[in-house]
A and B are shown apart, each in its own frame.
Chain A
Amino acid sequence: MRSSFRASAAAMMAAAALLTAGCSTGSGTSSVEQNTDPNQKVELTYWAWAPNLDKVVDLWNEKNPNIHVTVNKQDGGDPAITKLLTAVNAGSGAPDLIQAEYQKIPTLVAADALADLSGTDAKDTKDAFPEAVWDSVTLGGDALYAVPQDTGPMAFYYRADIFERLGLAIPTTWEEYAAAAKKVHDADPEAYLGTFSSNDAGWFTGMAQQAGASWWAIDGDAWSVKIAEDPTEKVAGYWGGLVEQGIIDNKPMYTPEWNAALNNGKQVGWLSAAWAPGVLSGNAGATAGKWKVAPMPQWDSAKPATGNWGGSSTAVTSQSKNVAAASRFASWLNTDPEAVKALVDVAGIYPADTEGAKTALTKAPEFFSNQPDFYDVVGKAAQSVTSFSYGPNVNVAYNAYNDQFAKAAQAKTKSAFLDAVAGMQQVTVDDLKKTGFTVK
């Protein structure tokens, strides 16, 4: 009977989708047993998605014939992590190394997917990185779960030509940002200084981080969730107010409409991260030379701060048989001057390594050839990134951000924005409790 066929097909399709995730992880287990002899040849697999990373790894392979690394190109941060978690559940199929975004580390640690590197060479790289970045790979404890690779310190990008035409000064505080937003919108009712995007949880997290938020914390042997607290509420209320007045747009970023607005000058600014030049040159190539970067507007000018939007690390998985060799490679990749230079030049990332960033990033990106001191501004921002801790269910909190703030952005009221923060907190805490985490 057709209907019963269709019905079971629905169940099967859902099940098949789950199975596919399991089946697609077959590639790349290290077959070598735990290696102690330094002269024995070691094969390492590395799941990563940064562009052209294999070319950087080639440099390592040339110099280290005994430790050969093969890059296995991934679609992106989320699918790679889903695959890794499936492999860990299955007991085999994980690579030796994986590119992991900072916010994914607690989830991976909770699933016992990462090896502790505190007993390897990697612990000596501590001084190469800003403290806030180091905290996110140690989770504030004694263990070390990854070596930082790149960061996304946030800064304010703006159309210098339009600012000049309107006689606007660069906003240094959020108060001035609001005033500038009003002037931009008053001059042209279709133009906005920026938009509040419900699609980009990482963006909002960076802004909350700047205001001093840190959403998760380990409190003895319990987790605490601190989303619905003063810093995040302040940020949400501020943006809710701007959207309610109508002087900031409420449409998501990364849509065809947003791209068009970047191109035709209807989006006059963008609060973004160090990697923005790549996006701008791709999405609004015609506006090259018209943009400039400035530090983020501040809540307290006396204590300049910024947040991170994006950034990732190199972690060794719990299934690796060659933790020491993998850790040596991860340290080299992210702190060796030659490797960092290659990461900047061919992979186009903003390195987490402080010294490496300084020496590798000297010339402004081509899109910003009008601003020779581009990396001075971004470098200063990178030094002012405040500390932020992630928890074991960032995925749930980010998903709650999407749904809660979509509603708020649509409602266009300050109170809806504050409700959204409360909603995020609720969903995140409920999820932790449901799974059995101790929550304070």
Chain B
Amino acid sequence: MAATATAPTKAEKTASAGPGTPRKARNFRQRAMTPYAMLTPGIVLFLVFMAAPIAYTLVLSFQQKKVSGLGLGKGAQSTVFAGFDNYIRSLTDPEFTASVLRVLTYGAILIPLMLGFALLFALLLDSRRTRAGNFSRTAIFLPYAVPAVISSLLWGFLYLPGVSPFHFVADRLGIALPSLLNPDLITFAIANIALWGGVGFNMIVMYTSLKAVPQEIYEAAKLDGASEIQTALRIKIPIIAPSVVMTALFSMIATLQVFAEPTTLRPLANSLSTSWSPLMLVYRDAFTRNDIYSAAATSIIIALATFAISFLFLRIVQKRAFGQEN
């Protein structure tokens, strides 16, 4: 056995020492390795910053802290395997359910308004009779450049009746404005901040895909006697449907992850709890209650739900939006 095993190696060695063959072999090996070498940075980054944190979160989500007796002193606390306890507790937690319902309401208000306005602005900018198009486009897009925490602080000032210029003017005119920070209006107040920041981004996405439409189509439509509105409704919107679907998907994901706006507004009023949105609940468990295990489980649930909703949404609209491509 040993002899037969060494024999080819020897043969190989002699072969590789001969002229001609070695360069070819080395070249081939190099060529085979090149893609892997080029992929290495990507793979390493993926493993370190993507796979490892997800794995760590998964590990945490199956653990919990256990204490015995008073829990004081050395060795009174330990980390134990929890099975699905954290998941069961998260899913049956009325606070979690309530936060999901709140966010769904918020999305139902926000997404149609945001996409509606974005589409309207994109179509207006794209219409032939637009004046000051560049200025308007920048003006509508600019709020997107303002970080959500800053915009929430700005809007917070405008909402607080004691310091709001709107309330000041309304008072002078003898009109009693309701405070947007009241519990029944707070969802609108938060949606308004997100709307202000998000319309510009979605508009740019739609506007860019409108610009990619060949002009001949419009000319043909014009020759056939189509008005601007007819062109918009019958030609432009169907053509850019895929980008509308994409912005809708982004908006849905952003809605499920709403965090900065309600967190910033919370100290200003009594109407927001520290578990208003699912991510706020995760933050509270991890950093206020020092329970990273529950927070990890809730994070995994939110991620899976986001995935499921995105998949379902694409499944439903795919036929409509992308049907023409097939």
Partner of A15, one of B53, B76, B183, B267: B53
- A437 B306 Cβ-Cβ under 8 A: no
Q: Interface code B175-188, partner A: CB below 8 Å = 1, 0 otherwise?
A: 00000000100000
- B303 A3 Cβ-Cβ under 8 A: no
**Quick one: given A3-B310, A252-B268, are A257 and B69 in contact (CB under 8 Å)?**
no
Q: Does B16 contact A (CB under 8 A)?
A: no
Chain A min CB distance to B158 (Å): 10
Q: Does A85 contact B (CB under 8 A)?
A: yes
- B300 A16 Cβ-Cβ under 8 A: no
- B76 A110 Cβ-Cβ under 8 A: yes
Contacts of B73 in A (CB 8 A): 109, 112
A199 to B284, CA, bound (A): 15
Q: Does B295 contact A (CB under 8 A)?
A: yes
Main secondary structure of the interface of A (DSSP, over half): helix
Most chain B C-beta atoms within 10 Å of own C-beta, residue among A16, A257, A409: A257
A406 to B182, CA, bound (A): 12
Contacts of B302 in A (CB 8 A): 10-11, 14
Contacts of B304 in A (CB 8 A): 7
**Quick one: given A109-B73, A435-B65, are A406 and B303 in contact (CB under 8 Å)?**
no
- A403 B274 Cβ-Cβ under 8 A: yes
- B270 A410 Cβ-Cβ under 8 A: yes
Most chain B C-beta atoms within 10 Å of own C-beta, residue among A21, A82, A112, A436: A436
Contacts of B299 in A (CB 8 A): 10-11, 14-15
Partner of B160, one of A19, A111, A222, A255: A255
Task: Bin chain A's interface residue count.
Answer: 35 or more
Q: Does B49 contact A (CB under 8 A)?
A: yes
Chain B min CB distance to A433 (Å): 10
* Interface hits, B41-89 → A, CB 8 Å: 49-50, 53-54, 56-57, 60, 65-77
* Interface hits, A236-293 → B, CB 8 Å: 250-252, 254-258, 260-261, 266
- B74 A257 Cβ-Cβ under 8 A: no
Q: Does A18 contact B (CB under 8 A)?
A: yes
Number of interface residues, chain B, beta carbon within 8 A: 63
* Interface hits, B217-246 → A, CB 8 Å: 246
Give B294's nearest chain A residue, CB to CB.
A434
Give A18's nearest chain B residue, CB to CB.
B292
- B257 A112 Cβ-Cβ under 8 A: no
Q: Does A396 contact B (CB under 8 A)?
A: yes
- B274 A257 Cβ-Cβ under 8 A: no
- A15 B54 Cβ-Cβ under 8 A: yes
Q: Does B211 contact A (CB under 8 A)?
A: no
Most chain B C-beta atoms within 10 Å of own C-beta, residue among A6, A8, A218, A223: A6
- B273 A435 Cβ-Cβ under 8 A: no
- B56 A15 Cβ-Cβ under 8 A: yes
Contacts of B282 in A (CB 8 A): 14
Contacts of B161 in A (CB 8 A): 257
- A437 B70 Cβ-Cβ under 8 A: yes
Contacts of B105 in A (CB 8 A): none
A379 to B306, CA, bound (A): 57
A16 to B56, CA, bound (A): 9
Contacts of A399 in B (CB 8 A): 274, 284, 288-289
**Quick one: given A14-B299, A19-B53, A403-B274, are A109 and B72 in contact (CB under 8 Å)?**
yes
- B270 A407 Cβ-Cβ under 8 A: yes
Most chain B C-beta atoms within 10 Å of own C-beta, residue among A10, A256, A431: A10
Other than the known A2-B249, A15-B57, A257-B160, what 7 A-B pairs have Cβ atoms closer than 8 Å? A6-B306, A11-B302, A11-B303, A14-B302, A17-B286, A255-B268, A437-B70
- 27 A-B residue pairs with Cβ-Cβ distance under 8 Å, sorted by A, are A6-B306, A11-B53, A11-B54, A12-B54, A14-B296, A14-B299, A15-B53, A15-B299, A18-B286, A106-B72, A111-B77, A223-B70, A251-B270, A252-B268, A254-B267, A256-B160, A257-B161, A257-B163, A260-B162, A393-B289, A403-B275, A406-B271, A406-B272, A410-B271, A435-B67, A436-B66, A437-B67
Q: Return the 8 tightest CB-CB contacts between A and B, nearest first.
A: A7-B307, A15-B53, A14-B299, A257-B162, A3-B310, A11-B303, A15-B57, A406-B270
